[in-house]
Amino acid sequence: MTIVKLGYVAMSVELQNCSPSQTMTFKQFQAIKDREAAIRKLERIAISNLENCLRLLKHSVANDITFFRFSSRLIPLANHPELSDWKYLKSLKEPLKALSEYIQANSMRVDFHPDHFVLLNTTNKDTLNNSIKTLSMHEALLRGMGVDPEHRCVLHVGGAYEDKGKALEQFIHNWGLLPRSLQALIMLENDDTTFTLNDTLYLCEKLGIPLVFDYHHHLANFENEDDWETHWERVVGTWEHSPLPIKMHISSPRNEKEFRAHADHIDPAMFNRFLQKIKGTVPEIHCMIEAKKKDEALFKLSEDLRGMEGIKMMNQASFMLE
């Protein structure tokens, strides 16, 4: 028997005026002649984003969802070099505290997926330093929310830089330059163009990093399509020392021509094929839905799965594989 919990990414299509990613460009910041007034505006935007996050969490819990990915754009310009003196965490203390209290009270699993410019296998020192700075911001936000940062940020391996073997070894080299606290923050995901499940497993096993298996990515980028079944036990093994249940990503191709693009919703038959293969291999698995329709896609998938043989719904966002 395996318990499956569903989550969704960052935003709701059902809640109105609830974006957690409102922003301000540096050009807009510069256009405000009074720098202190510009910083206050940045803080108001960040506070609004965090308050909207709380609304999203309340919406989620009301619908039995306790697994959620935060937007990585909560704090606009947080890492801009011209704003290095901005102590944004101090001004965000109250909304972070409100999030903390709600997350703890409802035993929620929350995490981040930093943008593609966070590259840990780069040979460019500035890019690596900026990546470390961005990860440090995510760690600080999690701590401000009272969330243990361990295994809360999903990353791709990075770029191939015309030599995938060297790129993997560069990741290992750069890994040694990260503070231990940031190493503990990270999970790695197989991607849909370059680093396959086998490539990612190589790093995860060597460095002790949990692997977030992306089924759709694997179908788009594999050495052998059945590799995931052959190596599933190894994927599970990467979570052996994590305090969290194994995590995966689920999405469906938009169509055959745009196979890598995410569809609005999840193909329930495709997802169920995966579930039936992993049934009983883990006590619990958390599945992050990466679909264009966000929470609507979760609700539709839940309805589509209801009544399928071997699936017993526990609530709107959790079920058992029997």
Beta pairing class for 211-214 and 186-189: parallel
CA 89 vs CA 47, 75, 135: distances in Å: 10, 10, 15
Res 226: pLDDT: 78
Res 82: pLDDT: 94
Beta pairing class for 2-9 and 284-289: parallel
Res 86: pLDDT: 94
What residues does 67 pair with on adjacent strands? 109
Res 283: pLDDT: 98
**Inter-axis angle of helices 268-278 and 294-305, nearest 10:** 70
Contact status, residue 286 vs residue 258, Cβ threshold 8 Å: no
pLDDT < 70 regions, the chain = none
Q: What is the C-alpha separation between 204 and 240, in angstroms, rounded?
A: 12
Q: State the Rg of the chain over Cα.
A: 20
What secondary structure, in 3-state letters, does the chain show?
A: CEEEEEEEECCCCCCCCCCCCCCCCHHHHHHCCCHHHHHHHHHHHHHHHHHHHHHHHHHHHHCCCCEEECCCCCCCCCCCHHHCCCCHHHHCHHHHHHHHHHHHHCCCEEEECCCCCCCCCCCCHHHHHHHHHHHHHHHHHHHHCCCCCCCCEEEECCCCCCCHHHHHHHHHHHHCCCCHHHHHHEEEECCCCCCCHHHHHHHHHHHCCCEEEEHHHHHHCCCCCCHHHHCHHHHHHCCCCCCCCEEEEECCECCCCCCCCECCCCCHHHHHHHHHHHCCCCCEEEEEECCCCHHHHHHHHHHHHCCCCCEEEEECCEEEEC
306: which 2 tokens? 């209801």
Q: Domains of the chain (ranges plus CATH)?
A: 2-15+109-321 (3.20.20.150)
Q: What is the C-alpha separation between 49 and 41, in angstroms, rounded?
A: 12
Q: What is the C-alpha separation between 290 and 293, in angstroms, rounded?
A: 9
CA 72 vs CA 20, 51, 104, 278: distances in Å: 9, 15, 21, 31
Res 63: pLDDT: 98
CA 303 vs CA 15, 55, 156, 292, 313: distances in Å: 20, 24, 31, 17, 10
